[in-house]
Amino acid sequence: MTHPLRLGIAGLGTVGIGVVKIIRQKADLLAKRSGRPIEITAISARTRAKDRGISLSKYAWEDDPVALAERDDIDVFVELIGGSDGPAKEATEAAIAAGKDVVTANKAMLALHGQSIAEAAEDKGAALRFEAAVAGGIPVVKALTEGLAGNEITRIIGVMNGTCNYILTRMQSSGLAYQEVFAEANALGYLEADPRLDVDGIDAGHKLSLLSAIAFGTQVNFDGVRLEGIGRISIDDITQAADMGYRIKLLGVAQKTPRGLEQRMTPCLVPAISPLGQLEGGTNMVILEGDAVGQIVLSGAGAGEGPTASAVMSDVIDLARGIRVPTFGMPATELTTAPVAQSAVPAPYYLRFTLQDKPGALAKVATALGDAGVSINRMRQYGHDAQTAPVLIVTHTTTRDALDHALAQLPATGVVATDPVALRIEEL
C-alpha cells in the first residue's frame, strides 16, 4: 500500500490543531513508519473564520461534519468534535454508513453509544478506534487491547481525570479549600465547559467504562459505574487522610467479582507512598492487572494538545499500516453483559461528619453503626465550635451496602448534624 491515507478531520480545537501540526511537521517520518503518506484532505469546525495559528487553506472545508464524513476522498474520519450526541454522533454514524474508518477522542459518545456504534462499524467492515479517549497520551487502550491480550484481566485501577487530580493535589499542597482551588482551576482553563463532567467523576467514569469493556469482554455499561464526585472533599479530609498516611484520589476501579462486574469512580484514600498516592497534578496513571503479567503501571499526561494528538496519531498510523483490531478487543456482537456489582469487594472506610455537641453523642453514633454491623477501628472528635463537633471514624473492613445501611441509621440518633462524607480506603 503506497497510496496515501486520506483524513477528514472534524473539530479544530487544541487536539485537532495538534493533529494537523504533527501530520505536517513529520510527514516524512510518518510515511516511513506507516509505509505510505498520511494526508489531510478536508476539515470541518463550527467556525471557519478563526485564527487557529496555522494556515488551513489547502484543505477542503465543510461546514457540516456529516458532509465531511461522507466525502469520497477521505479514508478515515477523525472525530474531535466532542459531546455524546449531536454532530459528533451524527457524523460518526454517517462516516461508518459510508464505510469509512473512524478515529475518535470522544469518551462520552462511546461510553453512551459505544455498543451500537461498534456494531455498526463491524457490520460495515469499518474500524472504530479511540486511543485518545482514555488517559491522553498514555497508550493504554493499545496496551490493554493488544499488549495484554494473552491475559485474563483481573482488575483495572486508575486516576484518569487530571483536573480532579490537580484540584486534590493542589488542596494538599496549598491548604486551600475546594472552592478556592476549583476557582483557580477554572481560571487556568483546566475545567470542561460543564465542570460537572470533571468534578462529578463523569468524564473519568466514561473512560473507566471503555477500559472495562475491553478488559472483561462486556458491553460498555457506563450506567453501571458507581460515580461520586470530589465536590464534598474538604481540606479537613485532605489533612486527616495525610495524618493517617493517605492521599485522596478520584480513583477508578473495575473488576469482575463473583456477584458481577464492579465499576466505580469515587474519591478514595490511597497510601501516600504508593505510586498512585504520589501522582501529582494533571498526570494520569492506569494500573492493569492480568493473570499472566501481574501488574503493569502506565502513567503520563492525561490531556493537552500534544499528548492527545499523539494518541489520535497512534490510531491513524495503525490504520495506515493496515492494523485493524475490533473496537473493544473482540467482535462487538460477542461482548457479553454482566450483572452490576457495585463495591462488591469490602474495604475499610473513612467517615467524616459533624455531631451535635451533646453528651453521649459519640457513643450513640458508635452504637448505631455497631448495631448495623459496621465496626469501628478508630474514632476521634477533632475540634468543635459552640454547637457542633467534627468527627472522624475509620471503620473495619465492610461492604458498601452494609455501610450505607449503617449510615441510614444515623439520622435516628438525633445527634448527627451533617450528612457523612464516606471514602473508601484502598490499600492497593
Catalytically active residues, by annotation? 207
Residues 31 and 101: beta-carbon distance below 8 Å: no
- E strand spans, 341-409: 349-356, 376-381, 388-395
What is the distance between the alpha carbons of residues 19 and 8, in angstroms, rounded to a whole number? Answer: 11
Beta carbon of residue 293, minimum distance to a second copy (angstroms, whole number): 4
Quick check: 267 and 274 in contact, CB under 8 A? no
**Is 384 an interacting residue with respect to a second copy (CB under 8 A)?**
no
Q: What is the rounded CA–CA span in Å between residue 220 and residue 263?
A: 11
Nearest to a second copy of 29, 412 (CB atom): 29
Of 11 and 139, which CB lies nearer to a second copy in the complex structure? 139
C-beta of 32 vs 358, nearer to a second copy: 32
What amino acid is encoded at 415 in this protein?
V
* Nearest partner of 295 among 284, 285, 280, judged by Cα: 285
Which listed residue (70, 79, 131, 200) binds a second copy by CB under 8 A?
131
Write down how long the chain is: 428
CB of 51 to a second copy, least distance (A): 22
Task: State which of positions 193-212 bind a second copy (CB under 8 A).
Answer: none
Among the residue ranges 91-99, 132-140, 376-384, 405-413, the one whose residues contact a second copy (CB under 8 A): 132-140
Residue of 66, 74, 118, 138 that binds a second copy (CB under 8 A): 138
Q: Is 388 in the site for a second copy (CB under 8 A)?
A: no
Query: Is position 149 an interface residue for a second copy (rule: CB under 8 A)?
Result: yes
Q: Which stretch binds a second copy (CB under 8 A): 28-36, 189-197, 355-363, 367-375?
A: 28-36
Which positions ≥6 away from 293 have C-beta within 8 Å?
148, 151
Contact between 143 and a second copy by CB under 8 A: the answer reads: yes
Give the interface segment with a second copy, choosing from 64-72, 130-138, 172-180, 347-355 (CB under 8 A): 130-138
Measured distance CA(390)–CA(36) in Å, rounded: 65
CB of residue 275 to a second copy, shortest distance in Å: 7
Please state, in angstroms and as integers, the Cα–Cα distance from residue 12 to each residue in 98, 176, 203, 252, 281, following that order: 22, 35, 21, 30, 26
Say if CB 18 and CB 306 are below 8 A apart: yes
In the beta sheet, which residues pair with residue 157? 253, 287
Chosen residue from 8, 11, 82, 137 binding a second copy by CB under 8 A: 137
Task: Give the one residue of 334, 371, 419, 427 binding a second copy; rule: CB under 8 A.
Answer: 334
Considering the complex, state which of residue 32 and residue 50 has its C-beta at the smaller distance from a second copy. Answer: 32
The nearest distance, CB 147 to a second copy, in angstroms, is 3
- 3 state DSSP class of 22: helix
Hey, which residues between 271 and 330 contact a second copy (CB under 8 A)?
275, 278, 290-301, 304, 306-307, 309-314, 316-318, 321-326, 329-330
> Which part of the chain contacts a second copy (CB under 8 A), choosing from 30-38, 158-166, 219-227, 249-257?
30-38
Distance CA 161, CA 198 (A): 7
Of 148, 213, 368, 393, the one binding a second copy (CB under 8 A) is 148
Cα distance between residue 219 and residue 214, in whole Å:
9
Question: How far is the C-alpha of 343 from the C-alpha of 224, rounded, in Å?
Answer: 11
The DSSP H or E segment spanning 380 is strand 376-381
Query: Residue 329 Cβ, how far from a second copy at the closest point, in Å?
Result: 6
Nearer to a second copy, 186 or 333 (CB): 333
Distance CA 252, CA 158 (A): 5
Q: Which is nearer to a second copy, 52 or 232 (CB)?
A: 52
What number of CA atoms fall less than 13 Å from residue 404's CA on the CB side? 7
Please enumerate in sequence order all residues whose Cβ is within 8 A of that of 179, keeping only pairs 6 or more positions apart, or say none.
Answer: none
In the set 5, 7, 20, 22, which binds a second copy (CB under 8 A)? 22
Residues in 235-264 that interact with a second copy by CB under 8 A: none
35 binds a second copy (CB under 8 A): yes
C-alpha to C-alpha distance for 305 and 14, rounded to whole angstroms: 5
Whole-Å CA distances, 92 to 104, 131, 285, 311, 327: 9, 16, 29, 18, 14
For a second copy, the closer of residues 30 and 108 by Cβ is 30
Q: Which residue ranges make up the site for a second copy (CB under 8 A)? A: 18, 22, 26, 29-30, 32-35, 131, 137-139, 142-143, 146-152, 217, 275, 278, 290-301, 304, 306-307, 309-314, 316-318, 321-326, 329-331, 334
